């Protein structure tokens, strides 16, 4: 399956917050992989941004996928957003979610 996606690399918590606000306003036509480096966004700040934007993320995910691509601290990421340690695994998540949407399944479990 050819997946139309974009990789986004935020370098600050403000950029990440702005990204979530931007995608919440659009009609999703592509999926997003958000590449997180702890050098740019520490885990504690990442978790805060995710929680603050939970509703926006969940709304977007009803139509398209947004996956965090994080090499470390995967266990700490909340369940409402999928996370993968590699790009390949992130793309697998997108593929699975597309299949679930096609089948009419809305609650994704990871």
Q: What total number of domains does the chain contain? A: 1
The domain containing residue 21 runs over which residues? Answer: 5-102
110, part of any domain: no
Q: Which residues contact 99 (CB under 8 A, 6 or more apart)?
A: none
Of the candidate ranges 15-24, 32-41, 72-81, 91-100, the one whose mean pLDDT is the lowest: 72-81
Tell me the mean pLDDT in the region 47-70: 94
The pLDDT assigned to 82 comes to: 95
What's the pTM value of the predicted model, to 2 decimals?
0.86
Write out pLDDT tens, residues 66-82: 999 998 877 889 999 99
pLDDT, mean over the chain: 90
Map tokens 């995710």 to a residue: 50
Residue 107 falls inside a structural domain: no
What is the structure's pLDDT at 74? 78
Does residue 67 fall inside a structural domain? yes
In-domain check, residue 66: yes
Question: CB within 8 A of 60, min separation 6: which ones?
Answer: 23, 24, 28, 66
Quick check: 109 pLDDT over 60?
A: no
As a whole number of angstroms, the distance between CA 27 and CA 23 comes to 8
Q: Are 87 and 33 in contact (CB under 8 A)?
A: yes
CATH code where residue 78 lies: 3.30.750
Asked if residue 109 is part of any domain, the answer here is no
């Amino acid at each position: 399956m050819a997946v139309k996606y974009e990789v986004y690399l935020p370098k600050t918590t403000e950029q990440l917050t702005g990204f979530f606000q931007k995608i919440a306003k659009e009609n999703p036509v592509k999926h997003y992989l958000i590449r997180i480096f702890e050098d740019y966004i520490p885990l504690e700040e990442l978790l805060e941004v995710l929680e603050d934007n939970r509703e926006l993320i969940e709304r977007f995910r009803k139509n398209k996928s947004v996956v965090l691509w994080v090499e470390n601290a995967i266990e700490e990421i909340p369940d409402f957003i999928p996370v993968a340690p590699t790009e390949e695994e992130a793309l697998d998540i997108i593929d699975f979610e597309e299949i679930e949407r096609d089948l009419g399944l809305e609650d994704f479990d990871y």
